[in-house]
Amino acid sequence: MQRAVVLAVLAVAAAALILIPFRPTGFATARDARSYTTPLFIVETVRYPAFATVEAPAGGTVPLGLNTDPGSLGFGLLPAGESEGTRSLNVDNTKAATIKVKLEASGPIASRLTFDQRAFILPPGVKMTVAVTFHAAGASPANFSGEVAVVTLEPRNPLAEAILPWM
């Protein structure tokens, strides 16, 4: 039993060293997908542009804006103060194997985004909807942009599948 635990810990450590994240040179301006293979996993990253505009109410009102482009996470126009906007991100596992999904935000918008699920295991054929919320509380009027990346780890062998929850 102890040997199995030690082997599992070593495998997780080795896999962590092998997973070299894709580092883009700029933010996605349209839906963008990349993948690479390691000895243990197939790693896929789908990047979505994310943006919101916070405006001070002029005359007490702010016209609300909304973006319905499925290739981006546009939160539209929000009034400064305590407002927030939520968009849904649908994740569908079309693979034959169980996958690990991680959501990462980057850019100036990142500190204002929350996810109701940031990392989860998704069995084959299962769909999950994740709520992504932009929080305008305390924000000065400005344009916020960046991206949300959906990173999936697909195991290439039974050992990789066994350590998937710890990745």
For 52, the enclosing helix (H) or strand (E) is strand 41-55
> Using an 8 Å Cβ cutoff, are 110 and 118 in contact?
no
DSSP 66-89: ----TTSEEEEEEETTT-EEEEEE
Q: Which of 2-16, 90-104, 108-122 has the lowest mean pLDDT?
A: 2-16
CA proximity to 110, closest of 55, 166, 50, 154:
50
Q: Span 24-38, mean pLDDT?
A: 72
The answer to whether the predicted template modeling score (pTM) of the entire model surpasses 0.85 is no
Q: pLDDT at position 58, please?
A: 67
> Hey, what are 97's tokens?
């194997």
**Residue 165: φ, ψ to 5°:** -60, -25
Tell me the pLDDT band of 121, cut-offs 50, 70 and 90.
Answer: very high
Q: Using the predicted structure, report yes or no on whether residue 2 has a pLDDT greater than 70.
A: no
Q: Using the predicted structure, report yes or no on whether residue 11 has a pLDDT greater than 90.
A: no
**Residue 4: φ, ψ to 5°:** -65, -40
CB-based burial, 90-119: b 16+ in 10 Å, e otherwise: ebebebebbbbbebbbbbebeebbeeeeee
> Hey, what are 123's tokens?
């069995």
User: 125-137: per-residue pLDDT in tens?
Assistant: 999 999 999 999 8
